[in-house]
Amino acid sequence: MPKASRILLPGFLAIAAFAAQAQDAPVTPAQKSAAKEITSELIRSHIRFLASDLLEGRGPATRGDQLAEAYIQSQLEGLGLGPGAPGGGWIQKVPLVGIRLTSSEPAIFKSGRGALSGALGENFVAVSGVQKPESRIDAAEIVFVGYGIVAPEYRWDDYKDADLDGKVLLVMNNDPDGSPQEPNLFAGKTRLWYGRWDYKYLMAAKKGAVGAIIIHTTPSAGYPWQVVQSTLAGERFELPDDGAPRVAAKMWATEALAKGIVELGGRDLDSLRASAENRSFKPVPLGVTVSLALTNAIGRKESGNVIGVLRGSDPKRAGEAVIYTAHHDHFGIQPGARPGSDPIYHGALDNASGVAAILSVAKAFASLRVAPARSTYFAFVAGEEQGLLGSEYLAKHSPVPAGRIAADINIDGIGWFGRTRDVVLIGLGKSSLDGDVKAVAAMQGRRVEGDQFPDRGTFYRSDQFSFARVGVPAAYLKKGTDVIGKPPGFGREQEENYEKTDYHQPTDTFRETWDFSGAVEDVQLAFWLGCRLADAPELPRWSRGDEFEATRLKAVREAGVPY
């Protein structure tokens, strides 16, 4: 509040001061009161239905998937919103390619010193990198490439000019941690995109390699070997091949197998890894070859992004947009579940709850008598659990060009254990959205915290990342853990228990006992954040030097938006 308004002013000055103050408020009074539409009962009702047995776990391209899409479309239509899919309609069809591994032959590693085998599902995991019935690697030479990172902003290039055509890369997971001299190198202990396994395979393909083997260690992955093993089960989905470079096989090895491979080449894994902590590192050919043949069942399928829109009220800015996202898919029905156990992946928190949250936000927007200046899109995206597929497709085939999207606001899971003094912004520090989130949180008397588990790379693991990749600043909002009326540590313990027992398990079911009072506040905050961004004179910006800034500048230039 400006200081002047605290002293007594004559009538007209007081009115002017009030107007100025209202302009400074994070949202308008009408927007403030529209948040009353967001209630525990509303959130509860959507989750109860979406997580029920009837929807059979909402697996991509299943009947449950179609039911979820139909339900969401009905809700949006009933609110009086418009259909928002590009080219018209409520549903943007998302083409999918299903890939199921049908072979189990081990990989063979060979050198003059001897041979080793990588047994699929034991010490070795391989999935096809191509959408073909067979993918093979014939005696390709293995090259150790350290972290496998090229990051000009950190003056880092693990590849130098090595010729990696037709080779298989052996890669360390995660990214360098920084040092006492350079604590901010790769953002210290925070995992960046460079530290994600998807980045490693993508770089390997760009370098012309036919495959990459990531060395698994639990600290560098952030999860145990069983999680890697589980990628072999069932059908995986991808977007159709768009001609971008691909490796024939994406592979993981246990640390023990990786040590054995390196020893076949007469070297020591620990000293190789130590050398990779340095900028001067160069790729090291190991003198070891690998052969592998995978057979795959390939199927063409389809899912859908459900999209509604509230058109902006300012004709000059209605062509710009704020976009909300929440994924509606989960894992469907567990193949080969134990008799008597519940085989349905209900995905109540992940992410029926996020869908419920954004449907509630949509209701609050629909209740406004005057829509915000920019248009607001509500996108319920497909195939997130398969690798952010629906949001990637939407970001690449968007109803509004990326340079005209102010921001993406994503919700993937809400709080179930009461009101909190804090709210979490994943990606805090990355963009000017920090200030907007703090302004609306302050209206609630709450504080904003960053990621509580920075080593997990959470920013790159839900749908906001698909928008960041095309340059759109993104806010991924998550529940706080500082719970009102509970002892310190209670919220974190709840979250850790969920991760241990229910996360990505059939036991992520709807519970009558859940307390959504905190979720209501988080969802109201998400609503106000969107209102504020849709009305703001300027588009949000990435922090200077952020990994997505260059893409943004190009996107706004292409869209011809003043920036």
- Contacts with Zn ion by CB under 5 A lie at 350
Report the C-alpha gap between 149 and 196 in whole angstroms. 10
Which residue, 250 or 330, has its beta carbon nearer to Zn ion? Answer: 330
Q: Could you tell me the sign of the dihedral formed by the alpha carbons of 25, 27, 28, 33, in that order?
A: negative
| 3-state SS track over 291-357 | EEEEEEEEEEEEEEEEEEEECCCCCCCCCCEEEEEEECCCCCECCCCCCCCCCECCCHHHHHHHHHH
Which residue, 350 or 495, has its beta carbon nearer to Zn ion? Answer: 350
Which residue, 58 or 532, has its beta carbon nearer to Zn ion? Answer: 58
Shortest distance, CB of residue 503 to Zn ion, whole angstroms?
A: 7
Residue 466 phi/psi, 5-degree rounding, is -60, -35
Report the C-alpha gap between 201 and 224 in whole angstroms. 20
Shortest distance, CB of residue 334 to Zn ion, whole angstroms?
A: 15
Which residue, 57 or 118, has its beta carbon nearer to Zn ion? Answer: 57
Which residue, 329 or 521, has its beta carbon nearer to Zn ion? Answer: 329
All residues at 6 or more sequence positions from 351 whose CB lies less than 8 Å from its CB, including other chains: 326, 327, 328, 330, 384, 411, 412, 413
Report the C-alpha gap between 399 and 86 in whole angstroms. 4
Contact 43, 36 (CB under 8 A): no
Which residue, 56 or 350, has its beta carbon nearer to Zn ion? Answer: 350
Shortest distance, CB of residue 36 to Zn ion, whole angstroms?
A: 30
User: To which H or E segment does residue 459 belong?
Assistant: none
Report the C-alpha gap between 367 and 369 in whole angstroms. 6
Shortest distance, CB of residue 538 to Zn ion, whole angstroms?
A: 34
Q: In the complex, which residue's CB is closest to Zn ion?
A: 350
Shortest distance, CB of residue 327 to Zn ion, whole angstroms?
A: 8
Which residue, 37 or 350, has its beta carbon nearer to Zn ion? Answer: 350
Report the C-alpha gap between 192 and 189 in whole angstroms. 9
Which residue, 303 or 551, has its beta carbon nearer to Zn ion? Answer: 303
Pick from 449, 136, 83: nearest CA to 295: 136
The SS3 assignment for 474 reads strand
Shortest distance, CB of residue 68 to Zn ion, whole angstroms?
A: 15
Shortest distance, CB of residue 331 to Zn ion, whole angstroms?
A: 8
Residue 414 identity? I
Report the C-alpha gap between 324 and 350 in whole angstroms. 16
Shortest distance, CB of residue 402 to Zn ion, whole angstroms?
A: 25
Which residue, 350 or 482, has its beta carbon nearer to Zn ion? Answer: 350
Report the C-alpha gap between 201 and 348 in whole angstroms. 32
Shortest distance, CB of residue 381 to Zn ion, whole angstroms?
A: 12
Which residue, 57 or 491, has its beta carbon nearer to Zn ion? Answer: 57
Shortest distance, CB of residue 462 to Zn ion, whole angstroms?
A: 8
Pick from 483, 445, 362, 370: nearest CA to 411: 362
Q: Strands 211-216, 284-310: parallel, antiparallel or unpaired by DSSP? A: unpaired
Residue 519 identity? A
Report the C-alpha gap between 354 and 133 in whole angstroms. 36
All residues at 6 or more sequence positions from 78 whose CB lies less than 8 Å from its CB, including other chains: none
